[in-house]
Structure 1
Amino acid sequence: MHSVLNIGCDEADIVMAAAAGEAARMGVPQNIAIVDAAGHLVAFRRMDGAKFTSIEIALAKAFSASGAQVETRAIAARTLPGEPGFGLQNLHGGRFTTLAGGIPLRIGGQVIGAIGVSSGSTVQDQQVAEAGATAFEALGLSA
């Protein structure tokens, strides 16, 4: 038998608050998605002024980070023409992305969810996602 841990609503609220706080501090309204280990949505926030066209991108970043178990920005180089992962972005019905701003959340090395952020530049998205991931790490949860 294999047990899987998943991020809960209480933890997702803490991650969300930290990410939204960073976005507000930066003056960049964001769409912020938090998913569980299987990529299913646990929490979502569209800040006032965030681009509605970025909602699906935030969801895709969280889904991709959880499923690939790495930050989305780390995947991009592997999917360029001539690389083994070329075309990977076309899988999963368009739900997979290599844009920066998706970070897996771990407990004891096990991915228990992920955060995905979109509506700013990819640098801004990554910064907001990192704020959320840092807040999660600060919880000091263990398996």
Structure 2
Amino acid sequence: MNTAIAHALVAAAEAEATRGGFAVSITVLDAAAHPVAFLRMNGGAIGPAEVSLKKARTAALFQADSAVLGAAAQPGGAIYSLEHTHGGLISFGGGVVVRDAAGVVIGAIGVAGATVEADETIAQVAAASLHA
């Protein structure tokens, strides 16, 4: 992950959020879950800023989308209570792994502030924009 890629991801996520009428927070992390870029769109609530970070951290640390991990983190699931590890993670959609052209994980993007479904779509569209 570098700043050019991170800024492109933020721009793609911002454009998709704007198309949907949402003001979201967007966090991009490198593969080690260190921050590279962040945006809280004008009019975005303050609380989702931290949620976007936790969604991205979840995806980066486990190299899996937060929605996928969330399915196994439900009561009775194999990784139930995962969200209580690593200083707090998120076990629902909006955290998406970012891969380079060779499929290697280079980081993650987290989106929060819309509906969970819209957060997931915005993050997926941004991640896919790198290979469009």
- Normalised-by-shorter TM-score class: over 0.9
Q: TM-score, normalised by structure 1?
A: 0.88
- The answer to whether 1:40 aligns with 2:40 is no
- The answer to whether 1:74 aligns with 2:93 is no
Q: TM-score, normalised by structure 2?
A: 0.95
Q: How many angstroms apart in 1 are the aligned matches of 2:87 and 2:6? A: 26
Gaps of at least 5 residues in structure 2 are: none
CA deviation vs aligned residue, 1:37-80 (integer Å, no higher than 9, x gap): 00000000000111101111000011111111111100112111
Q: State the 1:109 CA deviation.
A: 2.4
Higher mean alpha-carbon deviation, 31-40 vs 122-131, is at: 122-131
**Number of the residue aligned with 2:23:** 29
**Number of the residue aligned with 2:99:** 106
Structure 1 residue ranges (4+ consecutive) displaced by more than 6 angstroms after TM superposition: none
Give the paired residue count.
131
Alignment of 1:57-96 (within 5 A): 57-94=51-88, 96=89
2:126 aligned partner, one-letter code: G
Q: State the 1:137 CA deviation.
A: 2.2
- The answer to whether 1:128 aligns with 2:110 is no
Q: How many angstroms apart in 1 are the aligned matches of 2:117 and 2:73? A: 19
Task: Work out which of the two has the higher radius of gyration on C-alpha atoms and give 1 or 2.
Answer: 1
Gaps of at least 5 residues in structure 1 are: 1-6, 139-143
Q: State the 1:82 CA deviation.
A: 1.5
CA RMSD in angstroms comes to 0.9
2:111 aligned partner, one-letter code: V
**Number of the residue aligned with 2:112:** 118
Q: How many angstroms apart in 2 are the aligned matches of 1:100 and 1:129? A: 9
